[in-house]
Amino acid sequence: MPLTPEQQAEIDALRATPRQTLRVVSDGMERHLYTAYDVLDHGFVRVIDYMGDDNAICQAARVSYGKGTKQVSQNEGLIRYLMRHWHSTPFEMCEIKLHVKLPVFVARQWIRHRTANVNEYSARYSILDREFYIPQPDALAAQSTANAQGRGAVLTGAEAERVLEILKSDSARAYDHYEEMLESEEQGQKLGLARELARMNLPANVYTQWYWKVDLHNLFHFLRLRADAHAQYEIRVYAEEICKLVADWVPFAYAAFEDYRMGGVTLSAKAIECIKRMLQGEGVTQETSGMSKGEWREFEGVIG
């Protein structure tokens, strides 16, 4: 359970006090504000704030004075047009602020998306909680033999048990020692190592948390890479949870994103040429395609 009763009470208090605003309001997003959605065994994603909605994307694209068109269908068409033609700036006019709790090795992938604002819980300043990611049995995958950075079959039986035993016992011992090193002399204890040093003993499955703020264009970029089937499972589940929130926040933009980005495919000049030949009835093979074996395999995956 990621939240303590005190934390849940703080969230409930925030959700109990609606106020008046003149700003654009997304009813779909108001429903989610502050609520922590569980991800992995101790993690969560929750929306702290947002700016804009579908309409705001169009308003910015038109640099308009007021709300702009009243016809909802025009906004949908414009949003699809903007997405299709890579007009990114109108999508940057929406912003979201999330509070995320996540294992450190996931945080290390996540932070590589640079165009975002981050405030992370500081382990120099504060003491981390005893919370470690221990995979569910069906996430205990073997190394893929085909893909150097992928997963293969799920481990089972004694093998799986041994992995879980290692992860659990090493996490527990690391945290026991973290606490031991932090114990201060003032409390009649032996040690009182600086927090900024003691933390180095904690493994990468320890949980951290941060506030993460990003505009919608850059969020879509993050989601395309991290909600993708090739992303590591442990970050993908966060991306998928965020996808659900965004679908309620900006439904037109999200639908366009699904069609043109998540479900879309970029084909090379060679691949387009092959499709043209195939549509004219020619039987194209890897040998006659001009593509390498790897490219051809990926191409077959797209049109197959």
Packing angle, helices 293-303 and 269-279, rounded to 10: 50
Q: Which amino acid is at 60?
A: A
The count of other CB atoms within 10 Å of the CB of residue 75 is 21
226 is catalytic: yes
Nearer to its own copies, 170 or 244 (CB): 170
| Rounded Cα–Cα distance for residues 66 and 261 (Å) | 30
> How many whole angstroms separate alpha carbon 3 and alpha carbon 176?
22
Residue 140 CA to residue 163 CA, distance in Å, equals 8
Read off φ and ψ for residue 207, nearest 5 degrees: -85, 140
Looking at 162, 226, 236, 297, which residue is catalytic?
226
Of 50 and 252, nearer to its own copies (C-beta) is 50
User: Shortest Cβ distance from residue 135 to its own copies (Å)?
Assistant: 7
Q: Which two tokens stand for residue 241?
A: 């949870």
Closest CB 244 distance from its own copies, rounded Å: 18
- Least CB distance from residue 254 to its own copies, whole Å? 13
Rounded distance, CA 120 to CA 117, Å? 10
- Say how many CA atoms lie within 13 Å of 44 toward its Cβ: 18
Nearest distance in Å: CB 44, its own copies: 10
- Which residue numbers are catalytic? 226
